Amino acid sequence: EIFALCGPFSAEFNAAFYRQCRADVVVTKASGAEGGYQEKVQPCLDAGIPCIVITRPAPLVTGDELLQSQADFTARLTRWLSAT
């Protein structure tokens, strides 16, 4: 079964919920403090329940390689084409 709830909830609530539904595994996203991340993971650690945490992928480009607009892309492409 899959349960989807809209929290965040306390660690105590999550622990009771995991017990009630006899969770075999918990899948959650890395939601930070405001999303109740620790309150979801700690009961898993305490009960020995596997917890799969989905994280946001790292950006493939950073800094000067990161283009903010279509105009930036067009300018970069124009420079690249004129250099070849």
pLDDT in tens, 53-62: 999 888 777 7
Q: Is residue 67 part of a domain?
A: yes
pLDDT surpasses 80 at 70: yes
Q: Is residue 26 part of a domain?
A: yes
pLDDT surpasses 90 at 63: no
Structure tokens at 52: 């799969």
Structure tokens at 28: 């959650």
Region 10-18 average pLDDT = 97
Q: Is residue 6 part of a domain?
A: no
Q: Is residue 32 part of a domain?
A: yes
Structural domain of 53: 11-83
Residue 47's pLDDT band (boundaries 50, 70, 90)?
Answer: very high
Number of domains into which the chain is organized? 1
Q: Which residues contact 27 (CB under 8 A, 6 or more apart)?
A: 51, 52, 54
Q: Is residue 1 part of a domain?
A: no
Q: Is residue 4 part of a domain?
A: no
| Residue-averaged pLDDT of the chain | 91
Q: Is residue 5 part of a domain?
A: no
Nearest to 28 by CA among 6, 48, 46: 6
